[in-house]
Amino acid sequence: MSTARDEIFASIRRSLGVTGRERPRRDVVTERIARAPAGVVPARGAVTGRTRIDLFIAQAEAALATVSEVDAPDAVPAAIAQWLRAHNLAATLRMGADPRLSAMPWGDTPLAIDEGPSDGSDLNAVSHAEAGVAETGTCVLVSGPHNPSTLNFLPDNHVIVVQAADVAGDYESVWSWLRERFGKGVMPRTVNWVTGPSRSADIEQTMFLGAHGPRRLHIVVVGGRGETPAS
């Protein structure tokens, strides 16, 4: 059974006098996908060094996230425990199987750690981002057992750890990184771009946090304080 979409495309092909299987046309499509040309990139993200980290933090905070910085991965658990305590939140945390998180000294904190996807009953979760985007203060997370996507949406409070070295200036740079890291054909099933906590102003134009996901988002930036300002 043909669909309306099939009929529309068939009509376009008839008007152009093509079938869609012509070798030159298929080669053009294959080449474009392989080359993955970038679109217009905003100038705001064209910064480097400490200036890029400062922009990332400023944009994240403008989107209602909170941010802390640590010098090394070993300092991450204490920073998260301090943030939970400062907000009078339970000393519990769920995480996936990301080896970067597993290697951190969680035993040095009072946090009770659970592993695996969330079933919706968790108050707090931590994920490790693949990258950050300075132009919007966005964290980029890929799906899989290392960082289950349920941790992005179900807990009330979400903490994201991102390496300063993985903060890019713009979205296009991050897509290039992901293609290089995973390769075509083995990209993660889902790439989530998280900018601030979940919020909505659909009802009476009143801002409501936690509308479709976490009501709090805290970002821990690792290793950015040693960056030098852009010249």
Q: Which pLDDT value is given to residue 1?
A: 52
Q: Which pLDDT value is given to residue 46?
A: 92
Cβ atoms within 10 Å of 147's Cβ, excluding its own: 27
* Average pLDDT of the chain to the nearest whole number: 89
Closest C-alpha to 79, from 23, 191, 161: 161
Are the beta carbons of 113 and 95 closer than 8 angstroms? Answer: yes
Helices assigned H by DSSP within the chain: 4-16, 23-35, 49-62, 76-86, 99-102, 150-153, 171-182
Which residues neighbour 13 within 8 Å (Cβ) at sequence distance 6 or greater? 19, 20
Total-model pTM:
0.82
Which residues neighbour 22 within 8 Å (Cβ) at sequence distance 6 or greater? none
Confidence of residue 231 (pLDDT cuts 50, 70, 90): very low
% of the chain exceeding 70 in pLDDT: 89
Q: CA-CA distance, 166 to 52, in Å (whole number)?
A: 11
Which sequence spans correspond to the domains of the chain? 4-35, 47-222
Q: Which pLDDT value is given to residue 33?
A: 78
Q: Calculate mean pLDDT across residues 185-195.
A: 90
3-state secondary structure of 99: helix
Are the beta carbons of 215 and 156 closer than 8 angstroms? Answer: yes
47-222 placed in CATH 3.40.50.970:
no
Q: Is 222 exposed, middle or buried (0-12, 13-18, 19+ CB in 10 A)?
A: buried
Partners of 126 in the beta sheet?
Answer: 159
Q: CA-CA distance, 159 to 123, in Å (whole number)?
A: 11
